[in-house]
A = this chain, B = another copy of it.
């Protein structure tokens, strides 16, 4: 199901075969939290911006419109009209970051909906059932993402519970995939490594979950406030203990430089809200650094966001026009900036894949980072 086409140092140029088509890796998955990418981006726009995988959030879809509703409508692919791969997260991260009062027990988590306050219970089985209802291509295991300031004792106990939950997820998915009424009976399961920034706990956990024959392995609980150095240190320690012949997914990461560094450490799946969130706030990526389009110096700037860029915004519109739209709070300004940013990320992943194939990833990475940080624009 997953094959490595080429390695360059630790960097992996892979290919994941799924029931919804092939994913060329390294890949940046585009976040569509509530079954839509924020910024008025439709699935019909995604081909133009080189999107391979769309990522939706289990927790959000469970509370609205409800996974049962999506299931009755034929699953997320039919609902959004997208026939390529979709990854759903487990809901765990949102339970811990968004939900109100919550209580963690061995069976799962009791919490209140952030929308209407109603009581919800979610454990490994519930998360798997919801994701099976959504019929995503790849489901994520239900885990706890402990606070970055939690004690060693808390993290140890939490990680052990996450392992027990993972076993339950695997069993429940096996059962769900065997049911005739299941929409996607070939749903894949990725497990999640946790352990905060404590290398020994991370490594022990990685070894433990590697014993289970999962479809992929994620590193979770990073990019939650720790330094970039801590993130890279944990990747240096953990990735070698995850199965190299499986996809390696760094959750919620990150800046273009974070991605370039993580690829160099063997990671090949990414997702992050940065490009869409930054776009909505007028911050756009270029190969010469990030621009704040609200800056007055762009008022009369007839150039596209980036010269030569083939995204739907740059092919037609000027910085001056997009700046005006953003200042006038016209949604179109957000849409154009988001389309550009997602294209920038997706296009960078294409460059990364090419560099690994050509065996010159180190040079590519060094030049890309130097250009992006030279601050000439």
Contacts and interface: CB of A to CB of B under 8 A. Distances in A.
A332 B36 contact: yes
B79 A320 contact: yes
B324 A64 contact: yes
Q: Interface extent on A, as a size class?
A: 35 or more
A64 B327 contact: yes
A335 B38 contact: no
A44 interface: yes
Interface in A30-51: 34-44
16 contacts: A34-B328, A36-B328, A36-B332, A36-B333, A39-B331, A40-B334, A40-B335, A44-B312, A60-B328, A64-B327, A65-B320, A65-B328, A73-B302, A73-B318, A79-B324, A81-B316
A65 B329 CA distance: 12
A336 interface: yes
Contacts of A334: 40, 331
A328 B73 contact: no
Contact of A79 (B36, B72, B81, B321): B321
A125 B84 CA distance: 57
A334 B74 CA distance: 23
Contact of A72 (B300, B327, B330): B300
Nearest to A302: B73
Nearest to A60: B328
A154 interface: no
A98 interface: no
Contacts of A320: 65, 69, 73, 79
A325 interface: yes
Contacts of A69: 299-300, 320, 324
A302 to B, nearest CB: 6
A300 B39 contact: no
A57 B191 CA distance: 55
B73 A325 contact: no
Nearest to A34: B328
A37 B180 CA distance: 47
Interface centre among A38, A300, A316, A335, by most chain B C-beta atoms within 10 angstroms, is A335
A330 B80 CA distance: 13
A60 to B, nearest CB: 8
A103 to B, nearest CB: 27
B299 A336 contact: no
B73 A36 contact: no
Interface string A283-326: 00000000000000001101000000000100011101100110
Contacts of A44: 312, 316
Given A79-B321, A80-B321, A300-B72, A335 B65 contact: no
Contacts of A39: 40, 331
Given A81-B317, A299-B65, A316-B44, A330 B73 contact: no
A18 B287 CA distance: 42
A41 B334 CA distance: 11
Nearest to A69: B299
B299 A330 contact: no
B331 A38 contact: yes
Interface in A332-355: 332-336
Contacts of A81: 316-317, 321
Contacts of A332: 36-37, 40-42
Given A72-B300, A73-B300, A324-B64, A42 B80 contact: no
